[in-house]
C-alpha cells in the first residue's frame, strides 16, 4: 500500500487493505484512496444516506428542526468512532464507513416504523432494519453499471450486520458464518456498535430535555447524569439552562468514551491478538467498557426506555406511525402500481419468482426507504383516494337500491 492510501491504522490487530477479504464483485484498486475510504465515500453519496436527514431518531421529523435525525445521529456515531479508533490504532475510515451506514435500512418513524413493518412481514420472512441496511448496500442502491448495490468490502458489510438470526445467517454465506460459529467481527465493527449506543444514549437525553419530556431532576436519579449535572451546577452558578444541559451531556460522553478507550486498550494489551483473524476467533468482544462505566451506561439506557421511549407523547407518535406504515403496506400489496414504476416492475418480477413473499419484500423495500414526511404524504394521498372510492361505491349501492 502506498503512503497516500494509508488510513492511520497502526495496530497489528486492525483491519488493513492488504488483509481485506475484498468485495463481492472484484474491482481494481484506486490510485490514491484505500478500499475503506472508497466504502465511506460510496455510502456518503448514496441515496439512502441522503434520506436519513428526514428520518426519525426519537421525535417525528416535523416536530422541530433541532431534534436529531438518523443523519445527525449517524454523524455523531462516526465522530465518536473515529476518536476511539485513532487512539487504539484502528482504521478510522473503516469505522466511519460502518458508523455512517449502520442505519441506512431504517424505516420512517424509527423503531415504531420498524415494528409495524415487521408485523406486516411476519408471514413473509419478517423485517429487521439491520438486515435491511445490508440489503440497501448489497442490492437496492442503483449507482453502478457493473454490479448492484455499492459493492462494499467484506469488512464494512461485516460491521453493518451487527446481529442476525441463524436462519438468515445461513442465507448470507461467508458473511453469516460468524453467527453460526459464534465468532466476533473485527475491532472496527465492535467499536462502531458501541459508539452507536453511546451516541443515542447521551444525545437522547439532550433531545428529551429539549422536548420537555424529561427533567433534570428526573434524570438525576441515574448516576451518570446526576454526578455530572451536580458538578456542573456547583462549578457554573450563573450558567444558562441550555448551556448547563450541554455541558452535562458533554461530560457524560467524555466519561464513557475515555473509559472505552482505556478499558479497550488494557484488554488488547492483555489479550494481544496477532491480527484481525485472531480478533475474530476470540470468545468475546475486545472493545468495551469497564464494569463500573458499563453499569452507569446501562442504568441510563434503562431509564430512557422507561421514561422517554414510553412517554405518552412518544407512544402517541408510535401508534400513529404504525397506522401509517401498515396502511401503506396494505395499499401497495393490494395495488403494486400505486408505487413508482420501477418499484412496481420489481414487485411484478419478484411476485413471478416467489409469489406473495416476493411481492411483500418489494413493497417492504419501498416503504422502508421512505422518509417520515414522504410516508405521511403518501398515506394521505392513498387514504383519501380509497375513502373517495369507498364513498363512490356506497353512493352507487344506494342509487341501485
The structural domains of the chain, with segments of one domain joined by +, span 3-313, 314-400
Listing DSSP states for 147-190 in one string gives: SSS---BHHHHHHH-----HHHHHHSGGGGHHHHHT----HHHH
Q: How buried is residue 105: exposed, middle or buried, by Cβ count under 10 Å (0-12/13-18/19+)?
A: buried
Q: Cell 453502478 appears where?
A: 144
Task: Give yes or no for residue 401 having a pLDDT over 80.
Answer: no
- Quote the CA–CA distance of 99 and 76 in Å, as a whole number: 9
Give the pLDDT confidence of 30-64 residue by residue, as tens digits: 999 999 999 999 999 999 999 999 887 665 544 54
CB 236 within 8 A of CB 251: no
Task: Give yes or no for residue 224 having a pLDDT over 90.
Answer: yes
| Rg of the chain on CA atoms, in Å | 23
Q: Quick one: CATH architecture of 3-313?
A: Orthogonal Bundle (1.10)
Give the pLDDT confidence of 165-174 residue by residue, as tens digits: 888 888 898 9
User: With pLDDT > 70 as the criterion, what percentage of the chain qualifies?
Assistant: 91
Give the pLDDT confidence of 101-150 residue by residue, as tens digits: 999 999 999 888 999 999 999 999 999 988 999 999 999 999 999 999 99
Lowest-pLDDT range of 69-83, 176-190, 310-324: 310-324
- Quote the CA–CA distance of 250 and 256 in Å, as a whole number: 10
pLDDT at residue 5, rounded to an integer: 46
As a whole number, mean pLDDT of residues 56-78 equals 74
pLDDT at residue 386, rounded to an integer: 60
Please give the mean pLDDT across all residues of the chain: 90
Q: How does residue 365 score in pLDDT terms, banded at 50, 70 and 90?
A: very high
Listing DSSP states for 103-128 in one string gives: TTTPPTTHHHHHHHHHHHTGGGT---
CA-wise closest residue to 87 among 263, 290, 261, 273: 261
Angle formed by the axes of helices 241-271 and 187-210, nearest 10°: 160
As a whole number, mean pLDDT of residues 322-328 equals 94
pLDDT at residue 132, rounded to an integer: 95
As a whole number, mean pLDDT of residues 238-254 equals 93
pLDDT at residue 268, rounded to an integer: 98
pLDDT at residue 399, rounded to an integer: 53
Inter-CA distances, 353 with 125, 170, 357, 358, Å: 16, 21, 9, 7
344: phi then psi, degrees, rounded to nearest 5? -65, -40
Give the pLDDT confidence of 343-357 residue by residue, as tens digits: 999 999 999 999 999
Higher pLDDT, 379 or 399: 379
pLDDT at residue 238, rounded to an integer: 86
- DSSP run (H or E) holding 363: helix 356-368
Q: What is the largest CA-CA distance in the chain?
A: 85
Amino acid at each position: 500500500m502506498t503512503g497516500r492510501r494509508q488510513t492511520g491504522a497502526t495496530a497489528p490487530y486492525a483491519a488493513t487493505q492488504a488483509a481485506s477479504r475484498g468485495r463481492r464483485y472484484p474491482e481494481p484498486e484506486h490510485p490514491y484512496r484505500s478500499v475503506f475510504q472508497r466504502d465511506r465515500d460510496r455510502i456518503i453519496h448514496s441515496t439512502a444516506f441522503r434520506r436519513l436527514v428526514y428520518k426519525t431518531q426519537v421525535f417525528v421529523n416535523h416536530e422541530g428542526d433541532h431534534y436529531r435525525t438518523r443523519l445527525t445521529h449517524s454523524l455523531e456515531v462516526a465522530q465518536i468512532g473515529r476518536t476511539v479508533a485513532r487512539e487504539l490504532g484502528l482504521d478510522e475510515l473503516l469505522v466511519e464507513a460502518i458508523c455512517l451506514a449502520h442505519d441506512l435500512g431504517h424505516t420512517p418513524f424509527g423503531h415504531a416504523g420498524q415494528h409495524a413493518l415487521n408485523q406486516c412481514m411476519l408471514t413473509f420472512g419478517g423485517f429487521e432494519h439491520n438486515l435491511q441496511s445490508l440489503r440497501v448496500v448489497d442490492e437496492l442502491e442503483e449507482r453502478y453499471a457493473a454490479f448492484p448495490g455499492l459493492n462494499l468490502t467484506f469488512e464494512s458489510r461485516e460491521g453493518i450486520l451487527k446481529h442476525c438470526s441463524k436462519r438468515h445467517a445461513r442465507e448470507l454465506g461467508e458473511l453469516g458464518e460468524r453467527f453460526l460459529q459464534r465468532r466476533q467481527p473485527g475491532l472496527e465493527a465492535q467499536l462502531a456498535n458501541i459508539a452507536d449506543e453511546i451516541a443515542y444514549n447521551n444525545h437522547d437525553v439532550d433531545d428529551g430535555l429539549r422536548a420537555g419530556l424529561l427533567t433534570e431532576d428526573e434524570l438525576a436519579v441515574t448516576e451518570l447524569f446526576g454526578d455530572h449535572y451536580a458538578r456542573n451546577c456547583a462549578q457554573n452558578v450563573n450558567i444558562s439552562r441550555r448551556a448547563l444541559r450541554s455541558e452535562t451531556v458533554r461530560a457524560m460522553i467524555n466519561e464513557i468514551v475515555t473509559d472505552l478507550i482505556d478499558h479497550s486498550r488494557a484488554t488488547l494489551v492483555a489479550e494481544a491478538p496477532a491480527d484481525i483473524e485472531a480478533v475474530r476467533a476470540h470468545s468475546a468482544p475486545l472493545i468495551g467498557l469497564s464494569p463500573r462505566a458499563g453499569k452507569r451506561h446501562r442504568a441510563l439506557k434503562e431509564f430512557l426506555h422507561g421514561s422517554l421511549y414510553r412517554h405518552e407523547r412518544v407512544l402517541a407518535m408510535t401508534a400513529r406511525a404504525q397506522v401509517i406504515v401498515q396502511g401503506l403496506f396494505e395499499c401497495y400489496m393490494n395495488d403494486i402500481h400505486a408505487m413508482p414504476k420501477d418499484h412496481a416492475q420489481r414487485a411484478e418480477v419478484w411476485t413471478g419468482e416467489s409469489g406473495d413473499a416476493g411481492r411483500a419484500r418489494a413493497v417492504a423495500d419501498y416503504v422502508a426507504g421512505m422518509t417520515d414526511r414522504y410516508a405521511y404524504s403518501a398515506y394521505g394521498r392513498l387514504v383519501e383516494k380509497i375513502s373517495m372510492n369507498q364513498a363512490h361505491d356506497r353512493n352507487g349501492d344506494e342509487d341501485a337500491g
